[in-house]
Structure 1
Amino acid sequence: MMKNWFKSGAPWIWMTAGAVSLSLISVLGLLLMIAWRGLSYFWPADIYEFQLEQGQAQQKIIGEVYDTEEVSTKRLREAGLTIPSSAGESVERLLVKTGNREFVELDFRWILETDIKSAAKTTGIAVFERSKNGNFYGYVKHVIIDGQQADAEKLESVIERAVDINDKALDLQNDEIGAINYRLEKIRLEKRALELEGELTEEVKTQYQAEIEELNKNYQEYEKELFKLRQAANRDAVVVEDMRGELVEIPATQILDVHFPNDMTLLAKTGRFFVQIGKFISDDPREANTEGGVFPAIFGTVFMVILMAVIVTPFGVIAAIYLHEYAAKNNVTKIIRIAVINLAGVPSIVYGVFGLGFFVYMLGGSIDELFYPEALPNPTFGTPGVIWSALTLAILTLPVVIVSTEEGMSRIPSSLRQGSLALGATKAETLWRIIIPMASPAIMTGLILAVARAAGEVAPLMLVGVVKMAPTLPLDGNFPFIHVDRKFMHLGFHIYDVGFQSPNVEAARPLVYATAFLLVTVIVALNITAIGIRNHLREKYKSLEH
């Protein structure tokens, strides 16, 4: 009976189903773990006030508990710490974020349970999110408005005013002043180009000088307005009592937000949770990427993947059409197919080295010599940028698109080709009107696989365009609006940088999970979009199959 059961193949079916189930459970478990560790980063944590007693010394600590762990008392005593004899074999210690980075050595510290005299979630503790030096914890005493002391009740209005002024100053600096600087640099390059061609006449110099004077005049006006905004913001401040018991004056220009987590209801914390997620998605990074948002990294990732898809799709489809429809079935074609398959197994860092050597130095350097001689020796395209990253990943994912497109073409019955030719259509018309539309779902499948792989690649991008902090996005309001020569930020590299290059490891750890979950979300969103397009194409051209 058992022998017949094994011969029937049923055990292998159940083993396969079990392996698939375990794989799905593992993937879901991993995603849930990343989501939990990442999303909990945005939840407003309770702030504790600890009274510590270490021998004769007493100290007050204010902060939020990040982590707890059990430590052997023997290990602590060997490290020179005094542990009471009443303690057991292990002692719990807490990792507390104390903030106030300018007044303490580290904004994270370990506290032993045996040193805690009392711990209370005191109401009225404020958490200030600042543009530098991280969070600040303390009790608000009063505020300063236009140099005059005012009640603490006006705290929100002071911060709203400071944030509004900072936003106006940032917009003025990035838009109006940034556009003037961009145009001045363009004029310098245009004059240099005309000088190299021998066409820089006195009349042209006079025209450029008049434009430069007008731009400088506008620059001075905007600069005065910028100084007025900064002076208005500098007149406001918040006075806070910190954990040392001292009063600290925090300039309003440094404050981005404030909340009182111990005073918040569950509904208020939920609202704050979603606000923090929104800020994480829409803000720029700060403090060496350990704080703030990741919008430039999201934009760079999506922009690079879309540019890669635009490049790889036509090349992959054309190559697949040639191999399947036109190439003779000989040894050369076999070698080409073997080469395509082998390309899929080449390590991604090798593509990065190739992209740096061929695209950046050879192709980009040649473009600079031919079209941008006025900018030399400063490179324009002869330096890593988003276009070279997209081209490198296009080559990386090209075999996937070729193989998937060929598979789709091989499933199209030859009778359709013969029927189209019999009705008087040429081979090119048959390809364009019959073969490619019917193979479009397979093309989209290859594109989905290409996007999934390209969005998660980091190693080659480190050589051909991605940076820790990009000063500007590849898309802005300056002509030609899309600047494919610029460097960019990427979510995958952001995870690597925050997780392994951060000066503050403890602060960066939850941010790694949050960014990883966001990267998975972006990849899923791109794939769902491509799958929707594929299903639409499948339904649209289903009639051709009949």
Structure 2
Amino acid sequence: MKQQTLKSWFKSGSPWVWLNAGAVAIAVIMTLGLLAVIASRGLGHFWPADVIEAEYRIPGQPARLMAGEAVESEEVPRARLAASGLPVDAAGGEFMTRELLKVGNREVFGADFSWVIAEWLHEPRTPEDLLVLERREWGNFYGYLLSVSENGQVVASGAAAIDALQQRIERGNALHAEVMRLEKGEIGRINHGLERLRLKTRKLELEGRLTATAQADLDAERAQLDADYRVLEARLVGLQQQVGRDSLRVRTADGREQEIGMDKIVRAYQPNAMGLFDKLGFYFAKLWEFVSDEPREANTEGGVFPAIFGTVLMTLIMAIIVTPFGVIAAVYLREYARQGWLTRVIRIAVNNLAGVPSIVYGVFGLGFFVYVLGGSLDRLFFPESAPAPTFGTPGLMWASLTLAILTLPVVIVATEEGLARIPRALREGSLALGATKAETLWKVVLPMASPAMMTGLILAVARAAGEVAPLMLVGVVKLAPSLPLDGNYPYLHLDQKIMHLGFHIYDVGFQSPNVEAARPLVYATALLLVLVIALLNFSAVYIRNHLREKYKALEH
């Protein structure tokens, strides 16, 4: 009886339902676990951890004071430590604890991080007056504030120095922001105008139209730009003098004193004296800096806004390019092409293109788009720029086009499947009412197939936004000094190189000279890339669902 019941249970298909449900549950749990690991390792980097100070007593050597943040710890065999030359007592236990401290003060110690033996750290403490300085260069400084000076004169010392320091940091950051605005904004506009005049002069020379009148007009415009530049230069020098007037004197935990210019400091805080709400405020301020600021210190400090901007802009341009081409190809294959062996071969080729490694598309983009098409555009439309290339070099447009070619098969297949699902009766009804085939296609078929088009676009965006290998060849760089979208004509600079979150992860994780400092940023940037892709996909899903509801009545 039980055997018969078991056989009927198998025949009902329930085991396979449960098996599929279990596989889906395992996949969801693994995905959520992976995201949790990435989030915990990445987002924890921005929390202001306490800074410990302790005596480090290596046997047989003088004791010295150390200060830093505890990053990680591990158990290491004593034999391994002894083999590395450390004076380890072999009579102890089998393992010793080794801790990684972020000690900062790179100009003093030569490195931001140091491995220490936990058993040799004595009398650890967390002094409330221990100061952390986040700097634009040379990483963090850990030590004690002695005094604050203005134009070489001490204006505050002792307990009052911290308030004076915070006031001057706020002032220095505001002046630094104004300097950057002048350099990248107004001075950048003038430099762009001067370059435009140079190219215009060269173009008139090549065309033989550089008359005395044209030269005089160009000289007048150039003189005006030079005059504007001199005004801005004087203003910039004044701002830089104001930024550099303040300084502070600090002392490291082991007693070394040094002078630091206020223009080198981003923020100062005392983590050991901060309460929970102070730390929460600091944490969210650091998170905002991460998503809104530019990178510093070989991409291991600061933010990733240029990479976010480049990723989103490139993906949007790719979507604008791939959607019409994919839809047109699918409409031709489904609605106009004669269904025969040639059409079947084309469909097989399209499906196979979806499995081609992405780096192959990158090589194709570099060879065809950059060198052939870009070089031809330079010869035809930008001869005045020679020998410097305009479009004959990797840039935003070629990166977007390469991704469009890479994702084109996905859009074609999804759109064609959507067209195939539309009932033939709807087409015949439209034709019977007097509409032409083109009108039927444009006003009936394509609107009803739009959810399928959006499905193809969602899949294309999901793949394109995370690609890295082809982009390394056709336009993505480690650091782009300016955004490809600004206030200078033609506003959107398709020839400009960009940053990308995926390449930023690769660069920080595998090319950074400071591995320990870069590691948490790899996780944080990876989480951010996942969120950006999810946001782009959710936006497309919302549009697709809206279109599906709009045309659901026509399907029935």
Of stretches 69-78 and 490-499 in structure 1, the one that deviates more from structure 2 is 69-78
What SS is found at the alignment partner of 2:74? strand
1:24 and 2:28 aligned: yes
1:63 and 2:71 aligned: no
Q: Deviations over 1:407-454 (max 9, x none)?
A: 111111110000000000111111111111111111111100100000
Among 14, 19, 22, the residue aligned to 1:15:
19
Distance in 2 separating the partners of 1:500 and 1:35: 20
Q: Counterpart in 2 of 1:205?
A: 215
Distance in 2 separating the partners of 1:232 and 1:291: 25
Among 314, 317, 324, the residue aligned to 1:307:
317
Q: Counterpart in 1 of 2:278?
A: 268
Q: Deviations over 1:164-223 (max 9, x none)?
A: 111111111111111111111110000000100000001111111121122112111111
* Contact map agreement 1:50 1:60 (CA 8 A) in 2: yes
- Unmatched 5+ residue regions in structure 1? none
Among 69, 87, 94, the residue aligned to 2:92:
87
Distance in 2 separating the partners of 1:169 and 1:471: 15
Matched ranges for 1:162-241 at <5 A: 162-241=172-251
Among 81, 101, 107, the residue aligned to 1:96:
101
- Unmatched 5+ residue regions in structure 2? none
Q: Partner letter of residue 155 of structure 2?
A: A
Distance in 1 separating the partners of 2:336 and 2:224: 61
* Contact map agreement 1:84 1:114 (CA 8 A) in 2: no
Distance in 2 separating the partners of 1:12 and 1:218: 75
Q: Deviations over 1:353-403 (max 9, x none)?
A: 000000000000000000000001100000000100000000100011111
Superposition deviation, residue 483 in structure 1: 0.3
What SS is found at the alignment partner of 1:102? helix
Distance in 1 separating the partners of 2:248 and 2:25: 56
What SS is found at the alignment partner of 1:280? helix
Q: Partner letter of residue 63 of structure 2?
A: Q
Among 126, 135, 138, the residue aligned to 1:133:
138
Distance in 2 separating the partners of 1:131 and 1:21: 46
Distance in 2 separating the partners of 1:3 and 1:541: 45
Distance in 2 separating the partners of 1:338 and 1:181: 52
1:277 and 2:291 aligned: no
Of stretches 533-542 and 20-29 in structure 1, the one that deviates more from structure 2 is 533-542
Q: Counterpart in 2 of 1:76?
A: 81
Q: Partner letter of residue 464 of structure 2?
A: A
Distance in 2 separating the partners of 1:232 and 1:11: 75
Matched ranges for 1:466-545 at <5 A: 466-545=476-555
Among 346, 350, 361, the residue aligned to 2:360:
350
Q: Counterpart in 1 of 2:114?
A: 109
Q: Deviations over 1:312-345 (max 9, x none)?
A: 0000011111111111111110111011000000
* Contact map agreement 1:434 1:544 (CA 8 A) in 2: no
Distance in 1 separating the partners of 2:540 and 2:497: 26
How many residues in Structure 1 have an aligned counterpart in Structure 2?
546
Superposition deviation, residue 86 in structure 1: 5.5
Among 23, 39, 63, the residue aligned to 1:35:
39
* Contact map agreement 1:166 1:253 (CA 8 A) in 2: yes
Among 168, 171, 174, the residue aligned to 1:161:
171
* Contact map agreement 1:91 1:114 (CA 8 A) in 2: yes
Q: Percent identity?
A: 59
Q: Partner letter of residue 318 of structure 1?
A: I
Superposition deviation, residue 85 in structure 1: 4.6
What SS is found at the alignment partner of 1:64? strand
Among 463, 478, 491, the residue aligned to 1:453:
463
Q: Counterpart in 1 of 2:412?
A: 402
Superposition deviation, residue 540 in structure 1: 1.6
* Contact map agreement 2:134 2:267 (CA 8 A) in 1: yes
Distance in 2 separating the partners of 1:244 and 1:205: 66
RMSD of aligned alpha carbons = 1.0
* Contact map agreement 2:78 2:90 (CA 8 A) in 1: no
Distance in 2 separating the partners of 1:90 and 1:262: 31
Matched ranges for 1:430-445 at <5 A: 430-445=440-455
Q: Deviations over 1:37-82 (max 9, x none)?
A: 1100111111111211112311111110111111001111122211
Of stretches 343-352 and 118-127 in structure 1, the one that deviates more from structure 2 is 118-127
Distance in 2 separating the partners of 1:477 and 1:128: 35
Distance in 2 separating the partners of 1:423 and 1:21: 51
Distance in 1 separating the partners of 2:466 and 2:90: 52
Among 122, 125, 133, the residue aligned to 1:120:
125
What SS is found at the alignment partner of 1:60? strand
Among 9, 12, 15, the residue aligned to 1:5:
9
Q: Partner letter of residue 105 of structure 2?
A: N
1:412 and 2:417 aligned: no
Superposition deviation, residue 9 in structure 1: 2.1
Of stretches 2-11 and 248-257 in structure 1, the one that deviates more from structure 2 is 2-11
Distance in 2 separating the partners of 1:23 and 1:113: 40
* Contact map agreement 2:484 2:492 (CA 8 A) in 1: yes
Q: Partner letter of residue 275 of structure 1?
A: A
Matched ranges for 1:366-405 at <5 A: 366-405=376-415
Distance in 1 separating the partners of 2:459 and 2:429: 33
Superposition deviation, residue 3 in structure 1: 2.6
Distance in 2 separating the partners of 1:114 and 1:77: 15
Q: Partner letter of residue 121 of structure 1?
A: T
Among 305, 308, 317, the residue aligned to 1:295:
305
What SS is found at the alignment partner of 2:63? strand
Distance in 2 separating the partners of 1:87 and 1:533: 67
Distance in 1 separating the partners of 2:88 and 2:207: 81
